[in-house]
Amino acid sequence: MKSKKLSEAIIKTFKNNGFVLSEPDVLLDSEYIIERSGEKFRSSMLTFEREDGKIMCLRPDLTVASCINYLQNKTSSKIYYSGQAYRRSNNKGSNFINDQLGIEILGSKNQTQDDFKVISTILNSVKKIKNKKIQVKVGDISLFKSLINALDMPERWRLRLIRHFWRPDYFEELLKRLEKNTDIDAVTFDSDKKRFYEMTKVEKDKIIAGRTVSEILKRFDKKIKDPRSFSDGKKIVRIIKSFLKINCKLSKLDNKLLDFAKNNNLKKNIFKDFKSIQNLKKLNQEVNFISNFGRDVEYYTGIVFEVFAGKKEIARGGRYDDLLKSLGAKKNIPAVGAAINLKNI
């Protein structure tokens, strides 16, 4: 009963902020998700085979399910959902059923306003149902990308670091290799060339791991043609590690980023596009910015945040402008959303 009353209070806040109910399917085509989103969900999905041989799964993620529903049914672009996601976990004793209440804004181009709307709506919902001190942590994946694109390094290294930023352990291995200027071995390089020429014979519009063959070929082409020698790895790694140590109150972030750029001989305006983060100063809430935060979900592309009450994570979300294209849209569609974890309330 308590849970029901809490859910009703949250949903009322969602509705008052203009969000419309969306009910994404519980059963999804598992091969579609794996093909479009890569291997990210494979190990956690709960799958079964239908009588006709088709492999289905319980929805592993309500954001993905809501995006599929949006693309297939042309639903409202400002939605809320109430339901369960089903995922295996490596944590012993954890429940594979997650009760969630969430909101999404899909297809709107007003990024700064939409990011603020999602965070403020979630924050207002949490404050109405939790008496403990609320804390907000934010990061921004796009700031990391801006840094990497501003550094003087071979294109192949830019692609690797951006592509694997969401995998912290492997990312650290890449930094060690970059620091020592240890590139891929000749066998791997020859293997890439072989795969490149094999893929030139495949239909260019075919989707593999969320990208078209045409997009993969462009990446391979850059990788093969990229010069192999590079001597500034240690300097580049030092700058990246310095950036990933930034941890401050939001009110001090502007000066922190300016000092970082100045100390590393970078242009002052490399972080010019972080209006969404700056806009959070309007919240009646203390916010901490952590540059090394929000890397555990592959599809985030911009602002990432979590709301805590005490030590419990109550809600989390972020911007994911590439996800709808990976799920079948013809082009990137702006999107931002967040979900409240009911079991921690």
Q: Provide, rounded to the nearest whole percent, the portion of the chain with pLDDT above 90.
A: 43
> In this structure, are 208 and 128 located in the same domain?
no
Q: Is residue 325 part of a domain?
A: no
> In this structure, are 50 and 115 located in the same domain?
yes
Cα four-point dihedral sign 178, 180, 184, 186: positive
Q: Is residue 329 part of a domain?
A: no
Q: Is residue 35 part of a domain?
A: yes
> In this structure, are 203 and 260 located in the same domain?
no
Higher pLDDT, 15 or 220: 15
**Domain total in the chain:** 3
Place of tokens 């959303």: 337
Where is 149: in which H helix or E strand?
helix 141-150
> In this structure, are 67 and 114 located in the same domain?
yes
CATH of the domain at 164: 3.30.930.10
Question: Which residue, 227, 254, 289, sits at the end of a domain?
Answer: 227
What's the pLDDT tens digit per position in 284-297?
A: 888 999 999 988 78
Name the DSSP letter for residue 295. Answer: -
Question: Which residue, 227, 254, 288, sits at the end of a domain?
Answer: 227
Residue type, 339: A
> In this structure, are 140 and 276 located in the same domain?
yes
Domain that holds residue 123: 1-132+334-345
Asked which of 33-37, 163-167, 324-328 is least confident by mean pLDDT, the reply is 33-37
Checking if the pLDDT of 312 tops 60, the result is yes
Residues 154-173, mean pLDDT to the nearest whole number = 90
Distance between CA atoms of residues 132 and 175, nearest Å: 39
Cβ-proximal residues to 171 (8 Å cutoff; 6+ apart), any chain? 161, 164, 165, 295
> In this structure, are 153 and 244 located in the same domain?
yes
Closest by CA to 289, choosing from 273, 299, 301, 303, is 303
Q: Is residue 16 part of a domain?
A: yes
Q: Is residue 338 part of a domain?
A: yes
What pairing do the DSSP bridges indicate for beta strands 78-86 and 20-21?
parallel
Closest by CA to 236, choosing from 175, 146, 291, 182, is 175
pLDDT of residue 46: 87
| HSE toward the beta carbon, residue 290, CA cutoff 13 A | 12
Where is 183: in which H helix or E strand?
none
pLDDT of residue 336: 97
Checking if the pLDDT of 36 tops 70, the result is no
Higher pLDDT, 221 or 245: 245
> In this structure, are 169 and 305 located in the same domain?
yes
> In this structure, are 124 and 81 located in the same domain?
yes
Beta bridge partners of 98: 85
Place of tokens 């650290």: 172
* Cα–Cα–Cα angle for 9, 11, 16, rounded to 5 degrees: 95
Closest by CA to 118, choosing from 104, 108, 135, is 104
Checking if the pLDDT of 241 tops 50, the result is yes
What's the pLDDT tens digit per position in 2-23?
A: 577 888 889 999 999 999 999 9
> In this structure, are 157 and 10 located in the same domain?
no
pLDDT of residue 185: 47
Q: Is residue 315 part of a domain?
A: no
pLDDT of residue 202: 79
In Å, how far are 77, 128, 244, 280 from 116, measured between CA atoms? 16, 18, 24, 7
Q: Provide, rounded to the nearest whole percent, the portion of the chain with pLDDT above 70.
A: 87
Q: Is residue 317 part of a domain?
A: no
Higher pLDDT, 320 or 100: 320
Q: Is residue 266 part of a domain?
A: yes
Checking if the pLDDT of 120 tops 90, the result is yes
Higher pLDDT, 1 or 16: 16
> In this structure, are 98 and 215 located in the same domain?
no
Cβ-proximal residues to 229 (8 Å cutoff; 6+ apart), any chain? none
Closest by CA to 326, choosing from 41, 44, 27, 49, is 41
Where is 99: in which H helix or E strand?
strand 97-106
> In this structure, are 106 and 170 located in the same domain?
no
pLDDT of residue 127: 82
> In this structure, are 72 and 23 located in the same domain?
yes
